[in-house]
Copies of this chain bind each other. A is one copy, B any other.
Amino acid sequence: MNALDDLIESFSRLPGVGKKSASRIAHFLLRNDRSLCERLSRDLSVLHDRIRPCSVCGSYSEEELCPVCADPGRDRTLLCVVEQPQDVQTIEAVREYHGLFHVLGGVIAPLEGIGPDQLRLSGLLARVNEGGVAEVILATNPTVEGDTTALYIQRILKGLPVKVTRLASGLPVGGDLEYADRLTLARSFRGRTGF
C-alpha cells in the first residue's frame, strides 16, 4: 500500500516521530474522517509561501514586519537576542518581556562549521548603532555554544553606548538541589542574588 507507506515514511522524518509513532498517526488519520487530513495537507502546502523572515528582527512573519516589530506598544529600548525564531514564541508565551527581538539564526559552532559570519550579527550591530537601544539582553541557550555566542556578541558590542546583559542561569523553579547538575548548581552560586 504505497499511499499509506509513503505517508508513514514522510511522518517518520519529523523530529521526535519514530516509525511506530508515524504508523500510529497515519492509521489515526485513516480511521478518522478526512477533514483533519485535508486540513493538515492544506496547512503544510501554504506554510513556506506564507511565512518569511521579518525584515528587521529575522523572526517568522506573514508580513514585511513581524507582529512584535510592528507593535507600537513594545519597548524599543530593549533588544533580546535569541538563537532561533521559535525562541521568540517561547519568550512571548511567558508574557514577561515587552521589548523587541533579534534572531541570530543559530549559534557559533565551529565543529559544525558555523562561524559568526553565518549569524545575523551585522543586522544586530546596525540596529544598535542606529541608536535608541538601551539594553541588549543575550538570551541564547545556556549551552557551550550559546555561552560562546553570547560572549562573542558582548565583545563586539563593547564600546557602544548600550548595556549588555545575559539571562540568569541557575536552579529551575520547583527544582530540587539534589537533582541539579554540578554546572547548574555552581552557576547558581556564582549568580546568587541579594534579598
Contacts and interface: CB of A to CB of B under 8 A. Distances in A.
Contact of A44 (B23, B44, B48): B44
The 6 residue pairs across chains A and B that have the minimum distance between CB atoms: A3-B50, A41-B44, A7-B43, A34-B48, A41-B45, A27-B86
Given A30-B48, A41-B44, A62 B2 contact: yes
Nearest to A6: B43
Interface string A19-41: 00101111111110010111111
A24 B16 contact: yes
6 contacts: A1-B60, A3-B50, A7-B43, A16-B24, A29-B47, A34-B47
A89 interface: yes
Interface of A: 1-4, 6-7, 10-11, 13-17, 21, 23-31, 34, 36-48, 50-51, 60-62, 66-67, 84-86, 89
Contact of A48 (B6, B37, B39, B61): B37
Given A1-B60, A1-B67, A51-B3, A29 B44 contact: yes
Given A4-B60, A30-B48, A45-B41, A36 B10 contact: yes
A30 B60 contact: yes
Contacts of A30: 47-48, 51, 60, 85
Contacts of A1: 51, 60-62, 66-67
Contacts of A86: 23-24, 27
A82 to B, nearest CB: 13
